[in-house]
């Protein structure tokens, strides 16, 4: 009976890994690729091989690509993906991936409402959202909630990114799948960290990228498991960040060590830089929490002040919140731009790697880890310490 159940689960996983399922869902949502017949792999599995090369990954230290028990190219299996015949003539190019050089396939949008809805939903799991949402919570809502939310976010994303490099499940073959978002094409898919962050933050992240159904489902339940484990420890961790005299040193060392560990799990991919970015942001915010507590820049409400009452909504309050948000985001963006311009050449010079080809240099662990960590440590520290101090100085606190 156990063997039969195992075979059924294996068959279900093989079925869910079929890229044709993703392609059909994309067509249902009005996204159609402009694949030529030869490119679509009708006569063979060429599309799957190209997708494997595009991922630029190896699955074991020996350099041999790990072959799944299930063929990742549903078209080559004979299931037959959505054909190119009858596709709209007009196509739109995808944005270029500045790290890998991948420009993706051209595609046509038949349902603009769904496309832009899903695109906006996907952005809820990207840097632009985090760099505006978390600071907004600190500056205008509740710093305590923001700090503890970020602790959960850092651990959920870190565990999720590391799990990808342990599981090593490739993304579905393209074609037949349309690469609507190419930035994450060089990293593995299981579990979906978009689904994990959308569950943990929590905000519902609508996906129209290259995640299979089981990637999203596993990401959802995986984040719930991490939340169950870390939620009871939030107060202890947050208090440690604030009052322990050695907290800054331990925080920086721990997050840097976790980054080094994650970089040893597999070969280069965009997920490694994302992991360093998340850890750097979390470390910067944690150190800022310690500094804020010591300088009394941000004071948490006492138990006697709870529950907090919302202030009456007025044009003045809305204007003040918007002014804080715009000014704070400008400071963060300027900080990030300056640190990026300074850090890459500096790190390349320190480790003895040419900075002429930035894309190639950043595929080296000695460059990517310190570059991302330093830049986003500064961004996190600025958002939670420098900007609040600026608000106090100019009377916007």
Cis, peptide link before residue 176, omega less than 30° from 0: yes
Residue 249, in any domain of the structure? yes
Q: Are 73 and 177 in contact (CB under 8 A)?
A: no
pLDDT for position 291? 92
pLDDT for position 363? 74
Give me the residue label for tokens 């984040």.
223
Residue 274, in any domain of the structure? yes
**SS3 state of residue 32:** strand
Cis, peptide link before residue 278, omega less than 30° from 0: no
Nearest 5°: the CA angle 8, 14, 16 is 105
Q: Are 324 and 391 in contact (CB under 8 A)?
A: yes
Residue 87, in any domain of the structure? no
pLDDT for position 250? 92
DSSP state of 309: P
Residue 148, in any domain of the structure? yes
pLDDT for position 334? 94
Task: Look up the domain containing 304 and give its range.
Answer: 120-124+143-313
Distance of CA 149 to the CA centre of its chain: 16
Whole-angstrom Cα distance, residue 333 to residue 128? 10
Token output for 367? 């460059």
> What contacts 237, CB < 8 A, 6 or more positions away?
151
* Long-range CB contact pairs, 84-89, < 8 A, 24+: 84/33, 84/34, 84/35, 84/36, 84/37, 84/40, 87/32, 87/33, 87/34, 88/32
pLDDT for position 284? 93
pLDDT for position 205? 34
Whole-angstrom Cα distance, residue 60 to residue 272? 16
Q: At what angle do helices 315-351 and 127-136 cross, to 10 degrees?
A: 130
Residue 136, in any domain of the structure? no
List average pLDDT for each run of 10 residues in the chain, which is 397 residues long: 70 72 74 58 39 41 42 40 41 52 66 74 72 85 83 80 72 68 62 61 39 55 70 83 90 87 64 81 92 84 70 84 92 93 89 79 80 92 92 85
Whole-angstrom Cα distance, residue 189 to residue 198? 15
| Residues forming a β-bridge with 92 | 107
Q: Exposure of 326 by Cβ count < 10 A (0-12 exposed, 13-18 middle, 19+ buried)?
A: exposed
**DSSP string spanning 84-122?**
STT--S--BPPPP-TTT------EEES-HHHHHHHHHHH
Residue 73, in any domain of the structure? no
Token output for 191? 């579990």
Whole-angstrom Cα distance, residue 133 to residue 2? 47
Task: Output the CA torsion 24→26→28→31 (10° steps).
Answer: -130
Cis, peptide link before residue 339, omega less than 30° from 0: no
**Which has the closest alpha carbon to 124: 218, 224, 198, 190?**
198
pLDDT for position 287? 94
Task: Tally the C-alpha atoms within 13 A of residue 13's C-alpha that lie toward its C-beta.
Answer: 13
> What contacts 71, CB < 8 A, 6 or more positions away?
45, 48, 77
Residue 205, in any domain of the structure? yes
Q: Exposure of 16 by Cβ count < 10 A (0-12 exposed, 13-18 middle, 19+ buried)?
A: middle
pLDDT for position 220? 64
Residue 286, in any domain of the structure? yes
> What contacts 93, CB < 8 A, 6 or more positions away?
103, 104, 106
- The total number of structural domains in the chain stands at 1
């Amino acid at each position: 009976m156990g063997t039969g159940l195992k075979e059924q689960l294996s068959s279900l996983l093989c079925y869910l890994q079929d890229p044709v399922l993703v392609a059909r869902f994309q067509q249902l949502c009005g996204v159609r690729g402009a694949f030529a017949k030869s490119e679509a792999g009708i006569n063979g599995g060429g599309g799957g091989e190209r997708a494997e090369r595009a991922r630029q990954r190896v699955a074991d230290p020996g350099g041999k690509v790990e072959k799944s028990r299930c063929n990742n190219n549903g078209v080559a299996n004979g299931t037959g993906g959505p054909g190119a015949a009858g596709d709209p003539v007009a196509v739109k190019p995808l944005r270029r991936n500045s790290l890998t050089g991948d420009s993706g396939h051209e595609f046509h949008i038949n349902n603009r409402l769904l496309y832009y809805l899903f695109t906006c939903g996907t952005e809820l799991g990207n840097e632009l959202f985090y760099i505006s949402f978390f600071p907004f919570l600190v500056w205008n809502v509740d710093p305590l909630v923001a700090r503890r939310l970020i602790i959960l976010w850092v651990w959920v994303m870190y565990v999720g990114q590391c799990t990808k490099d342990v599981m090593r499940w490739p993304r579905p073959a393209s074609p037949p799948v349309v690469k609507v978002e190419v930035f994450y094409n060089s990293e593995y898919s299981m579990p979906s960290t978009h689904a994990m962050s959308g569950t943990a933050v929590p905000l519902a992240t609508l996906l129209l990228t290259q995640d299979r159904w089981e990637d999203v489902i596993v990401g959802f339940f995986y984040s719930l498991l991490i939340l169950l484990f870390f939620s009871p420890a939030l107060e202890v961790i947050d208090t440690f960040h604030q009052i322990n005299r050695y907290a800054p040193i331990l925080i920086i060392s721990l997050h840097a060590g976790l980054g080094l560990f994650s970089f040893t799990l597999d070969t280069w991919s965009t997920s490694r830089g994302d992991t360093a970015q998340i850890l750097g942001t979390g470390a910067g915010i944690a150190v800022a929490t310690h500094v804020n507590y010591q300088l009394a820049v941000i004071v948490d409400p006492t138990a006697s002040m709870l529950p907090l009452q919302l202030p009456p909504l007025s044009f003045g309050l809305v204007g003040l919140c918007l002014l804080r948000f715009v000014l704070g985001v400008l400071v963060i963006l300027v900080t990030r731009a300056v640190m990026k311009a300074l850090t890459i050449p500096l790190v390349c010079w320190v480790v003895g790697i040419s900075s002429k080809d930035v894309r190639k240099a950043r595929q080296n662990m000695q460059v990517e880890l310190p570059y991302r960590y330093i830049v986003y440590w500064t961004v996190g520290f600025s958002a939670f310490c420098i900007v609040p101090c600026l608000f106090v100085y100019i009377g916007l606190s």
